[in-house]
Copies of this chain bind each other. A is one copy, B any other.
Amino acid sequence: MTKLWGGRFSSQTDILAAQLNASIAFDWRLAPFDVRASSIWAEELAEIGLLSSEEHQQIQRGLEQISSEIQDQSFQIKPDDEDVHTAIERRLFELIGEPAGKLHTGRSRNDQVMTDFLLWLREAGGILENALREVQQALIDRAETDLGLMIPGYTHLQRAQPILLSHWWLSHFYPLQRDRQYLAFLLKQANLCPLGSSALAGCPYPINRFRLAQKLGFDAPMPNSIDAVSSRDAAASFLFFASLVSVHLSRLAEALIVFSTTEFGFVELPDAYTTGSSIMPQKKNPDMLELTRAKAGTTIGKLTGFLSVLKNLPSAYDKDLQEDKPAVFSTFDSLSLILPVISGILRSLVVNPSKLSAGLDPTLLATEIADFLVLQGIPFRKAHRLVGELVKECANQGITLLQVSAERLAKIHERLPGQLNRLLDPHLAVERRSQFGGTSSESVKTQIVQAREMLHKLY
């Protein structure tokens, strides 16, 4: 037995064309799901009398055999196996003969492959959900460990205002929470069973699609057989999910790359997560963070490419849809590697407190003076300008705000203390931001409590 569809054809497929057409190189990971769906399908065929009890038992035994061959990697893929479905049905023939030919009754590869894919996606989603939660957990743990450490907060990569390092760690927690929310959404939305849609028009035998769906762990059958075989929304949504996660991780990675330069020196990356140079003996390179950053680009490309594949497809099923699998599988592989690496880096990097505090120069506290003036009734806009001019003077004179004379300060406002030490104390500045979501210790502790709860729920 060769192709599943040879009857109508007079000549063989061209060898390069066959190579272009074959998907077995990348769809083999669907094998366990294909066996499982086939087993349930056989059950339903038996229920409606299209398989005799004996045939049914033969098929189940054959599938069990195949299942263990898949698991222990002894399954032999043959050159003529164009895809995972063909390979498994071919093997079933070898094992049980004629009855194998009854398994494909009432189904088509069109509904079969989508069913396999969704079963895989559910499992893959679970793996990534856990890996994401691990990163979130590491961020919370860091936030707790590092409580008390201040760091310059940056905008435009320029020092802006002092913040708690813990506050910064947590700012990377929430995007991942949104990613988990989206993952849950997309898995739920995709949890409808395509099987029983056949090629596109529906199944001509009285299969109970609701029971079938339930047995395979779906919430319900897909309600329109054409949509069931032609939609790749689940794949596209997965790629967008992966893009968002990678973009979030790339932002964290970029910051850590900058923070671990000699110049910033805020953190040191552990040997286990850096590499050396083949030529410069002193180098410790943040390769893992750079690859994390790079994979964001690659993943965006996978999403883009697949959306572009989908665009304009006219019919229920077009072969173009086959491009879903290389894109989704390679993205899954890369993400399921990156996430634990990031967890590992977060857990093992070393913070350098002296470098952090060296970064808190008085200029970062300029806003505090403006805020003080506001409390004296000066409009913020005017206060901002007055302080801006003061900062410029300091820069010109090469002094810090702490060195401004009492006279100069008095000219700005009579109530300004003659010495700004207390006003420009970064610790007090941090604690002043005590509203919900702010950077004060209290606010951050509240976030930590909330974040721990969110690990086990979505909102």
CA distance A225 to B318 in the complex (A): 32
Closest to A228 in B: B437
Known: A102-B380, A286-B156. A308 touches B318 (CB 8 A): no
Residues of chain A from 423 to 459 with CB closer than 8 A to chain B in the complex: 429-430, 432-440, 443, 447, 450
Of A31-39, A121-129, A385-393, A414-422, the one with at least 4 CB within 8 A of chain B = A385-393
Residues of the B chain whose Cβ atoms lie less than 8 Å from the Cβ of A359? 262-263
B-contacting 9-mer, from A61-69, A70-78, A269-277: A269-277
A447 and B202 CA atoms in complex are apart in Å by: 13
User: CB-CB < 8 A to A267: which residues of B?
Assistant: none
Cα of A160 to Cα of B387 in the assembled complex, Å: 40
Assess the A181–B171 pair: CB atoms within 8 A: no
Of chain B, the residue at the smallest CB distance from A219 is B459
B280 x A161 contact (CB < 8 A): yes
B254 A17 Cβ-Cβ under 8 A? no
Inter-chain contact B227/A171, CB cutoff 8 Å? yes
Q: Which residue of B lies closest to A367 (CB)?
A: B280
Contact of A388 among B8, B363, B385 (CB under 8 A): B8
Our pick among B108, B163, B288 for the contact of A200 (Cβ within 8 Å) is B163
Interface size on A, residues (CB 8 A): 198
Name which residue of chain B comes closest to A194, CB basis: B437
- Say yes or no: B156 contacts A290, CB within 8 Å: yes
Q: Assess whether A382 is interfacial by the CB under 8 Å rule.
A: yes
Residue A148 interfacial (CB < 8 Å): no
Q: Which chain B positions have C-beta within 8 A of A244?
A: 233, 236-237
**Chain A 241-269 interface residues, beta-carbon cutoff 8 Å to B:** 243-244, 246-247, 250-251, 253-255, 257-258, 261-264
Expressed in whole angstroms, the Cα–Cα distance for A384 and B107 within the complex equals: 12
The secondary-structure label for the interface of chain A is: helix
CA distance A67 to B315 in the complex (A): 49
Tell me the bound Cα distance from A58 to B306 in angstroms: 50
Number of copies: 4
Q: Which residues of B contact A371 (CB under 8 A)?
A: 106, 204-205
Contact check, B312 vs A161: say whether CB atoms are below 8 A apart: no
Complex: A391 Cα to B282 Cα, angstroms = 6
A353 within 8 Å of B by Cβ?
Answer: no
- Which B residues lie within 8 Å of A103 (CB)? 380
B224 touches A437 (CB 8 A): yes
Q: Within the complex, which residue of B1, B231, B300, B374 is in contact with A307, where a contact is CB–CB below 8 Å?
A: B300
Minimal beta-carbon separation of A275 from chain B (angstroms): 6
Q: Are B154 and A315 in contact (CB under 8 A)?
A: yes
Shortest beta-carbon distance from A38 to chain B in Å: 13
The answer to whether the Cβ of A411 comes within 8 Å of any Cβ in the partner chain is no
A285 x B156 contact (CB < 8 A): yes
A309 interface contact, C-beta 8 A: yes
Cα distance A404–B20 in the bound complex, in angstroms: 36
Give the one of A167, A282, A321 with max B CB within 10 A: A282
Partner of A17, one of B3, B257, B273: B273
What are 10 A-to-B residue pairs whose CB atoms are below 8 Å? Answer: A16-B344, A50-B374, A105-B374, A155-B318, A157-B315, A158-B261, A167-B225, A168-B226, A255-B314, A261-B263
Contacts of A344 in B (CB 8 A): 14, 16-17
Q: Which residues of B contact A338 (CB under 8 A)?
A: 20
In the complex, what residue of chain B is closest to A279 when comparing beta carbons? B108
The answer to whether A283 touches B156, judged by C-beta atoms less than 8 angstroms apart, is yes
* A199:B277 contact, CB within 8 angstroms: yes
Q: How far is the CA of A443 from the CA of B222 in the complex (A)?
A: 12
For A276, list chain B residues within 8 Å (CB): 3-9, 388
Shortest CB distance A259–B (Å) = 9
Given the complex of chains A and B, what is the CA–CA distance between A308 and B222 in angstroms? 30
The 4 closest A-B pairs by CB, nearest first: A301-B305, A7-B388, A202-B438, A5-B276
Whether B280 pairs with A199 at a CB distance below 8 angstroms is: yes
A86-108: contact bitstring with B at CB < 8 Å (1 yes, 0 no)? 00010000000011111111111
Q: Mark A381-417, 1 if CB is under 8 A from B, else 0.
A: 1101111111110000000000000000000000000
